[in-house]
Amino acid sequence: MSERYGYRWLPQLCPICETPPTRRLGRRGGQAHRTQAGVECEIWRCDACGLVFPNPMPHPLGGPDQHYSMDPDKYFEHHNSEAKGASAAYLLTKAEALTGGKGRLLDIGAGRGEVLTTAKSKGWKTVGIEPSEGFADYAEKQSGLEIKRVPLEECGFATESFDVVLLSAVLEHLYNPDVTMGEVARILRLGGALFLDVPNERGLYFRVGNFYQKLRGRDWVVNLAPTFSPFHVFGFGPQSLQALLHKHGLKPKDWHVYAGQAMVPARGGPVGLFEQMAAHAITAVSSFGNLGTYIETWAIKVGNGSQAF
């Protein structure tokens, strides 16, 4: 263990397989980034399940607010609140269909509170978690609900006390997704539903991006963002996400891998323009099979761990 550049660097096992990673992919951040963002990390992959993560893992010495102490509107500048509310309404309709009606809902990573506000207006009994103080303040003001400001594992919810849990754009930010998923499974009732979405770090965008770096003679990768916004520390693909759900007795019901939007912002200059155009082209053709840039799924609690399958 060491401390440098504002982080505590800890050896990292694959949290799904509980074994050391087996393949080094390259460097990410600092001098190994197109704009020198963040601090350099070594990115590895577990070849057993395909999960991608830094090893060692940089844990911020200042806790969550070291990363997320910023204006929520700035952090979520690419998220349209009106569209987020419409998306929440669609999710809630789906949740009712899967679980048999309205019930108790937990939104983990409440952000600006759009989902909570929509759920409350539609008659759900709603609880939100948001460890970032600034984001939690914003969500409380918007939703009129109390927001818990500690990780799920510290909330002490009763076993099987929720009908629906939402983990939208959250799992990739968590430093122990296996522990969190175990707690999600514990607090969900049998037949309850989990919604989650994550970037697909085994998708075409990441594969081509890493190949492009090699063509330029760089020991760089485009996976994750452990020390710069949006601070993604674990990279899931179809195999690793299904393995994590399976491990905790959660069975995917709906599974959708899709292209989404290109992830390369404009940088200027001919190289920057080429990179942005290429990212848009790759994203446009990545909707086939499991090669899209994002994964979303509903999973149903069917038992207590892998023995349920």
Are 51 and 245 within 8 A, CB to CB? Answer: no
Q: What is the pLDDT of residue 265?
A: 57
Q: What is the pLDDT of residue 86?
A: 82
Is pLDDT of 84 > 60? Answer: yes
Evaluate whether residue 304 is within a structural domain.
yes
Mean per-residue pLDDT for 64-78? Answer: 74
The string of pLDDT tens digits covering residues 108-120 is: 999 888 999 999 9
Question: If DSSP codes are grouped into helix, strand and coil, which group holds residue 298?
Answer: strand
- CA-to-CA distance for 147 and 14, rounded, in angstroms? 31
Compute the residue count for the chain: 309
Evaluate whether residue 98 is within a structural domain.
no
Question: If DSSP codes are grouped into helix, strand and coil, which group holds residue 181?
Answer: helix
Is pLDDT of 289 > 80? Answer: no
DSSP3 helix / strand / coil % (the chain, rounded to 5): 35, 25, 40
Evaluate whether residue 170 is within a structural domain.
yes
Of the candidates 299, 295, 264, the one whose C-alpha atom is nearest the C-alpha of residue 280 is 264
Evaluate whether residue 88 is within a structural domain.
no
- CA-to-CA distance for 200 and 291, rounded, in angstroms? 8
Q: Where are the beta strands (DSSP E) in the chain?
A: 2-4, 7-10, 23-28, 41-45, 52-54, 57-60, 104-108, 125-129, 147-148, 162-168, 188-199, 250-258, 294-301
On the 0-12 / 13-18 / 19+ scale of CB atoms within 10 A, 166 is buried
Evaluate whether residue 136 is within a structural domain.
no
Q: What is the pLDDT of residue 79?
A: 59
Pairing of strands 147-148, 125-129: parallel
Tell me the torsion sign for CA atoms 88, 71, 40, 204: positive
Is pLDDT of 246 > 90? Answer: yes
Q: What is the pLDDT of residue 225?
A: 97
Evaluate whether residue 139 is within a structural domain.
no
245 or 303: which leads in pLDDT: 245
The string of pLDDT tens digits covering residues 31-48 is: 999 999 999 999 999 999
197 or 271: which leads in pLDDT: 197
Q: What is the pLDDT of residue 179?
A: 97
Domain count for the chain: 1
| Domain ranges, residue 211 | 2-62+151-308
Mean per-residue pLDDT for 259-266? Answer: 63
Q: Which amino acid is at 182?
A: G
Q: Give the CATH number of the domain where residue 42 resides.
A: 3.40.50
Evaluate whether residue 44 is within a structural domain.
yes
Is pLDDT of 153 > 60? Answer: yes
- CA-to-CA distance for 207 and 157, rounded, in angstroms? 40
Evaluate whether residue 276 is within a structural domain.
yes
Is pLDDT of 262 > 90? Answer: no
Range of weakest confidence among 37-51, 185-199, 254-268: 254-268
